[in-house]
């Protein structure tokens, strides 16, 4: 799907028209894209989706075909033709986007993106930015949570077949790599993003073999039928012949990397014995077989049985790869049961974020022509925090992250070892004095003068993100009942919140 | 995202290589794409996703860049170069795809698609077909469920901002239109698919106004300040001035279509009174105002209050548009509470299918070189139904759908008024004699000789789908505890299931 500025909710365009007619199009606006609640019951999130944003910004031009479509809509039938002229000539040269670098750990109410520029332009970007950042961040966060519970085991993403459309698959592959996954089955993601790709075999491959024909037993020009007879005699089992033939045929092509899928008929009585026969043949021919994949049944039990059978057959180095509707909770449970699994393949529940299928990111106007703006809600924690901000991440004496603090953009720079009063953004009584050992400004320029400035090397993004993770206190990132990370505002910002609210709302009179 | 045959799980390519090396690439295979369980606790599904499939089939060519990428992978480092030559020259001229027409009502175990052709080719299509059909069908089904509970109220999709990536949004717009939605906010979907688009305004538009400047009060060259004073005097309320200014500015541009968003500050004390002021001005100027949008708070209460206030002000014809984390259950609840809503805007929970974020479609080999194949599972209902099939939909004397029956492709045609013995596919005792009044073959050719043959007119697809719905018995499509629709197999197919199973599995010996 080619990127197009028509990828937007229609109301962005009707508002654009109204801004234009009201001579407000060049009002200088600041929007912030943020969420109010971490997904999955956690207390952190991981920013992703920047590649899609970059591509959309790079292609933000209306074609004449697209403009003709807009002109044809009843909604715009009475619009001044100069509005379409304006759209035709629109460019983003005077739009500036700041934000947390991709892969950053981020928390509620912090601007993932801060978008500044002429009102008409920054409004038109809303739907696209939300779409890309909401989904990217959702999946990177979920992947990071699996990465935490997997504690060093290899994680592979292979959700393409049930992902929410092609981009659902592509963005999930990329975001889960940022989150900590090691590889994907998505070959196009390998090609376009440089993510390592892995693949095993499907049941259909096994099913397509009925038996072992004589040709299958020719290996590099020589018959291996004597080897086959020997390994069959060793176990004396009656297994599925088609499956055995399939394993031999596949292993001939991938003798050092084949991961044999053992559950087409029965993992314990046919699949694993057949795989071991082939591994013995491979070993006799000088190869180092790789491993097996379990794809159904009780993974805790089967992995322990498989390990026992493989160890007994002299293959302690063989890997066990598991894939069967896994998610972070099942990985945790398998660990508790002592499952012996080397690598987890995670698909559907990761790429569709089954536990929490969307991130509630919003895009709110926080300042216009230098004046702070607020969106009111009956729920105090759903109010927006007005004005264009800077965000600092403060570290304590132990080097760990202590809190993030938001200040108005015009406030003076925070400095290490200088004390600052930090207020809870919504509960006025809660405050603390912080003397940070380290102060990091979190918003960096991502887009300026029509050029993307953010990091684009996916491997660098992933490494930086995993490095940041080491400075997160364990109680904040633990799986069960994590502690919320502290997000604070400065005294000045706190006052601005209160005064802006009073200006817009006054005090309601109930009678 | 341009379509590419690399949009696949790597194992399709490793298997392709192994099929090729095993001289099996031209084995004639039949795969069927089906699911085992309807989503959302329902008893029917609605097929969608064909446009993506068509586009992928039309673009199924490996570029040299893509082939070089594959050659660079360690997995393929020792592969015969002729394999890449094969991929370079691959085309789909000898692949045939049959399936239910897009928009069809479909049930578990029925082939949404039946893909026939050389093994290597039909295997390579697996991941792509699953991705497109799984998500398309998921959303069309969910949309149809909302359409059923909305009982004639207008449904508008506007989930783009939280959809799972750009295609997640595009496919959701298209599929929900097939499902019965009337419009979308997704402007690109309007342009590319011809779906009607609608748009209102965002909170940011309202927030961008602080007050009412004199220019805002000039309407077609004349001041409307006297009208404004008059309508203010009439209600005597203190409302938010910026909001009032925003409503006037917007309505000047869209005097006959503006849907004013009333909850930026407070719906009852500011938003609705301000909207009514502007509607009165519009009326005085000879326009017919359209309606309001409620976007937060208690929709049942607010819609009734809004209706009362609008009726009292002399606007019984004004529409109430609602949008606030809606789904089918909330629509049902609002109906029960007597909410007075004309149009529902549904976003996140529809487009991400929050209740059930994936359809479990699978792609299974059912026949190879004329021989039936089966995938075994410990759970009998998870076994595949072997052999290439035909599907008939049988109607009863009342014209309503009675059951679908699957027969082997080589069985004679079923005829109306001829009795047929219908077996439950998994429970052998369950059978019935059916004398259908009408017999409809359900599988139609969708792709042959490299050309897409399926219907591509989205409006025709939608109309046909909604027509089919009228022949579904009420107890099967009802929201709560629906009755399963009958899916049967012929006696011949039943025998084939049993004999194929015995051939592959025998009888296990436990000791």
- Smallest CA–CA distance from B123 into chain A, residue: A204
A12, B202: Cβ pair inside 8 Å?
A: yes
For A165, the closest of B31, B164, B368 (CB atoms) is B164
- Residues A351/A159, Cβ–Cβ less than 8 Å: yes
A9, B359: Cβ pair inside 8 Å?
A: no
pLDDT in tens, B458-470: 999 999 999 999 9
- Smallest CA–CA distance from B354 into chain A, residue: A357
Radius of gyration of chain A (CA): 28
Tell me the C-alpha distance between B15 and B159, whole Å: 38
pLDDT in tens, A249-294: 999 999 999 999 999 889 999 999 999 999 999 999 999 999 999 9
Burial class (CB in 10 A: 0-12, 13-18, 19+), B492: middle
- pLDDT for the residue A470: 97
Q: Å from A476 to nearest chain B CA?
A: 26
- pLDDT for the residue B218: 93
pLDDT in tens, B175-224: 999 999 999 999 999 999 999 999 989 999 999 998 998 889 999 889 99
Q: Å from A399 to nearest chain B CA?
A: 36
Measured CA to CA in angstroms, residue B22 lies from A145, A209, A439, A495 at distances of 42, 10, 62, 75
- pLDDT for the residue B383: 81
Tell me the C-alpha distance between B203 and B208, whole Å: 9
Q: What percent of chain A has pLDDT over 90?
A: 90
Tell me the C-alpha distance between B191 and B196, whole Å: 9
A19, B135: Cβ pair inside 8 Å?
A: no
- For B450: left if phi > 0, alpha if psi spans -120 to 50, otherwise beta; the answer is left
Tokens 């500044």 -> residue: A116
Using the predicted structure, report yes or no on whether residue B399 has a pLDDT greater than 70: yes
When the pLDDT of each residue in chain A is averaged and rounded to a whole number, the result is 95
Q: In chain B, how long is the greatest CA-to-CA distance?
A: 96
Burial class (CB in 10 A: 0-12, 13-18, 19+), B20: buried
Tell me the C-alpha distance between A421 and A214, whole Å: 80
- Residues A268/A302, Cβ–Cβ less than 8 Å: yes
Work out the angle between the directed axes of helices B126-150 and A165-179 (0-180°, nearest 10).
110
Question: Strands (DSSP E) along B380-455, which ranges?
Answer: 389-395, 401-408, 420-423, 431-434, 438-441, 444-448, 451-452
Tokens 């009734």 -> residue: B304
Using the predicted structure, report yes or no on whether residue B499 has a pLDDT greater than 80: yes
Residues from chain B contacting residue A168 (CB–CB below 8 Å) = 131, 135, 164-165, 167-168
pLDDT in tens, A163-221: 999 999 999 999 999 999 999 999 999 999 999 999 989 999 999 998 998 889 999 88
Is the ipTM of this structure higher than 0.90?
Answer: yes
- pLDDT for the residue A202: 93
Residues forming beta bridges with residue A31, ordered by sequence position: A115, A365
Structure tokens at B415: 């005829």
pLDDT in tens, B234-247: 999 999 999 999 99
Helices in A208-295 by DSSP H: which ranges? 225-235, 241-253, 272-284
Closest among A314, A321, A256 to A289, alpha carbons compared: A256
3-state secondary structure at position B435:
coil
A164, B165: Cβ pair inside 8 Å?
A: yes
Q: Å from A223 to nearest chain B CA?
A: 15
- Smallest CA–CA distance from B134 into chain A, residue: A162
Closest among B245, B254, B244, B262 to B310, alpha carbons compared: B262
What phi, psi does B346 have (nearest 5°)?
-115, 130
Structure tokens at B458: 């989205």
Using the predicted structure, report yes or no on whether residue B284 has a pLDDT greater than 80: yes
3-state secondary structure at position A294:
strand
Tell me the C-alpha distance between A332 and B175, whole Å: 36
Interface test with A, best of B28, B166, B352, B372 (most A CBs within 10 A): B166
A161, B130: Cβ pair inside 8 Å?
A: yes
Closest among A55, A167, A11, A129 to B187, alpha carbons compared: A11
When the pLDDT of each residue in chain B is averaged and rounded to a whole number, the result is 95
List of residues 6+ apart from B281 with CB closer than 8 A: B224, B227, B228, B231, B248, B251
Question: Strands (DSSP E) along A38-104, which ranges?
Answer: 45-46, 96-99
Structure tokens at B288: 């017919």
Tell me the C-alpha distance between B295 and B264, whole Å: 9
Per-residue b/e over A27-60, b at no fewer than 16 CB within 10 Å? bebbbbbbbeebbbebbbbbbbbbbbbbbbbeeb
Measured CA to CA in angstroms, residue B115 lies from A208, A338, A340, B96 at distances of 15, 42, 38, 6
Tokens 């702070």 -> residue: A372
Structure tokens at A163: 């992902």
Q: Which of A54-58, A323-327, A413-417, B7-11 has the lowest mean pLDDT?
A: A323-327
Work out the angle between the directed axes of helices B50-58 and B126-150 (0-180°, nearest 10).
160
Residues from chain B contacting residue A15 (CB–CB below 8 Å) = 201-202, 204-205, 250
Residues from chain B contacting residue A23 (CB–CB below 8 Å) = 215
- pLDDT for the residue A430: 92
3-state secondary structure at position B33:
strand
Q: How confident is the model at residue A511 (pLDDT cuts 50, 70, 90)?
A: low
pLDDT in tens, B57-83: 999 999 999 999 999 999 999 899 999
Using the predicted structure, report yes or no on whether residue A503 has a pLDDT greater than 90: no
Measured CA to CA in angstroms, residue B384 lies from B129, B405, B406, B426 at distances of 18, 15, 13, 10
A160, B365: Cβ pair inside 8 Å?
A: no
A173 alpha-carbon distance from chain centroid = 8
Using the predicted structure, report yes or no on whether residue B508 has a pLDDT greater than 80: no
Tell me the C-alpha distance between B269 and A508, whole Å: 9
DSSP state at residue A162: G
What is the mean pLDDT of the segment spanning B479-499? 95
- pLDDT for the residue B6: 97
List of residues 6+ apart from A460 with CB closer than 8 A: none
B166, A1: Cβ pair inside 8 Å?
A: yes
Using the predicted structure, report yes or no on whether residue B376 has a pLDDT greater than 80: no
pLDDT in tens, A358-411: 999 999 999 999 999 988 776 777 788 999 999 999 999 999 999 999 999 999
A266, B376: Cβ pair inside 8 Å?
A: yes
- pLDDT for the residue B63: 97
Q: Which of A420-429, A479-488, B128-137 has the lowest mean pLDDT?
A: A420-429
- Residues B103/B465, Cβ–Cβ less than 8 Å: yes
Residues forming beta bridges with residue A408, ordered by sequence position: A389
B264, A375: Cβ pair inside 8 Å?
A: yes
* Residue B418 CB neighbour total at 10 angstroms: 12
- pLDDT for the residue A506: 67
Write out the DSSP string of A166-213: HHHHHHHHHHHHHHT--EESBHHHHHHH---B-----HHHHHT--S--
Handedness of CA B450, B455, B457, B462 (dihedral sign): negative
Q: In degrees, to the nearest 5, what angle opens at C-alpha A368 toward C-alphas A362 and A373?
A: 60
- pLDDT for the residue A428: 83
What is the mean pLDDT of the segment spanning A492-504? 90
3-state secondary structure at position B489:
strand
Tell me the C-alpha distance between A190 and A177, whole Å: 11
pLDDT in tens, A58-83: 999 999 999 999 999 999 998 999 99
pLDDT in tens, B100-152: 999 999 999 999 999 999 999 999 999 999 999 999 999 999 999 999 999 99
What is the mean pLDDT of the segment spanning A41-52? 98
Q: Å from B31 to nearest chain A CA?
A: 9
- Full-prediction pTM beyond 0.90? yes
3-state secondary structure at position A381:
helix
What phi, psi does B39 have (nearest 5°)?
-80, 165
- pLDDT for the residue B375: 82
Residues from chain A contacting residue B35 (CB–CB below 8 Å) = none
- Residues B94/B35, Cβ–Cβ less than 8 Å: no
B12, A202: Cβ pair inside 8 Å?
A: yes
Structure tokens at B180: 């019965």
Cβ contacts from A onto B, under 8 A:
378
Per-residue b/e over A14-26, b at no fewer than 16 CB within 10 Å? bbbbbbbbbebbe
Tell me the C-alpha distance between A454 and A446, whole Å: 5
SS3 content of chain B, % helix, strand, coil (to 5): 40, 20, 40
B162, A361: Cβ pair inside 8 Å?
A: yes
């Amino acid at each position: 799907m080619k990127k197009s500025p028509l990828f937007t909710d229609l109301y962005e365009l009707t508002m654009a028209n109204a801004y234009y007619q009201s001579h407000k199009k060049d009002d200088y606006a600041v929007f912030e894209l943020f969420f109010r609640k971490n997904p999955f019951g956690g207390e952190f999130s991981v920013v992703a989706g920047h590649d899609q944003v970059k591509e959309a910004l790079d292609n933000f031009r209306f074609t004449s075909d697209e403009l003709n479509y807009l002109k044809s809509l009843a909604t715009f039938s009475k619009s001044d033709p100069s509005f379409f002229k304006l759209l035709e000539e629109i460019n983003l040269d005077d739009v500036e986007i700041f934000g947390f670098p991709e892969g950053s750990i981020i928390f509620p109410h912090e601007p993932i993106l801060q978008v500044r520029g002429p009102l008409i332009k920054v409004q038109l970007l809303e739907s696209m930015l939300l779409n890309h950042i909401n989904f990217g961040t959702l999946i990177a966060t979920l992947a990071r949570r699996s990465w935490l519970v997997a504690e060093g085991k290899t994680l592979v993403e292979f959700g393409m077949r049930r992902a929410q459309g092609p981009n659902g698959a592509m963005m999930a592959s990329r975001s889960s790599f940022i989150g900590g996954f090691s590889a994907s089955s998505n070959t196009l993601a390998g090609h376009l993003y440089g993510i390592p790709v892995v693949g095993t075999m499907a049941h259909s491959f096994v099913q397509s073999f009925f038996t072992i024909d004589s040709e299958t037993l020719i290996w590099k020009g020589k018959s291996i039928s004597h080897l086959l007879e020997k390994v069959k005699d060793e176990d004396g089992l009656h297994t599925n012949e088609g499956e055995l033939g399939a394993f031999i045929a596949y292993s001939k092509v991938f003798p050092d990397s084949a991961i044999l899928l053992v559950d087409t008929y029965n993992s314990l009585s046919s699949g694993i014995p057949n795989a071991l026969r082939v591994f013995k043949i491979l070993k006799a021919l000088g190869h180092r077989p790789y491993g097996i994949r379990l794809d159904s049944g009780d993974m805790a039990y089967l992995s322990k049985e498989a390990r026992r059978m493989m160890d007994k057959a002299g293959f302690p180095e063989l890997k066990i790869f598991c894939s069967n509707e896994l998610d972070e909770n099942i990985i945790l449970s398998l660990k508790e049961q002592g499952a012996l699994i080397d690598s987890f393949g995670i698909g559907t529940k990761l790429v569709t974020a089954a536990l929490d299928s969307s991130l509630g990111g919003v895009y709110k106007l926080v300042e216009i022509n230098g004046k702070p703006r607020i969106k009111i809600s009956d729920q105090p924690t759903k109010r927006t925090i007005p004005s264009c901000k800077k965000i600092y991440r403060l570290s304590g004496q132990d080097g760990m992250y202590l809190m993030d603090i938001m200040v108005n953009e015009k406030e003076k720079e925070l400095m290490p070892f200088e004390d600052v009063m930090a207020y809870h953004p919504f509960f006025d009584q809660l405050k603390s004095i912080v003397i940070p050992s380290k102060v990091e400004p979190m918003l960096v320029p991502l887009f300026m003068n029509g050029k993307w400035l953010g990091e684009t090397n996916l491997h660098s993004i992933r490494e930086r993100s995993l490095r940041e993770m080491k400075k997160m206190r364990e109680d904040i990132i633990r799986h069960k009942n994590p502690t919320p990370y502290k997000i604070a505002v400065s005294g000045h910002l706190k006052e601005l919140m209160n005064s802006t609210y009073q200006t817009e709302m006054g005090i309601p009179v109930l009678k």
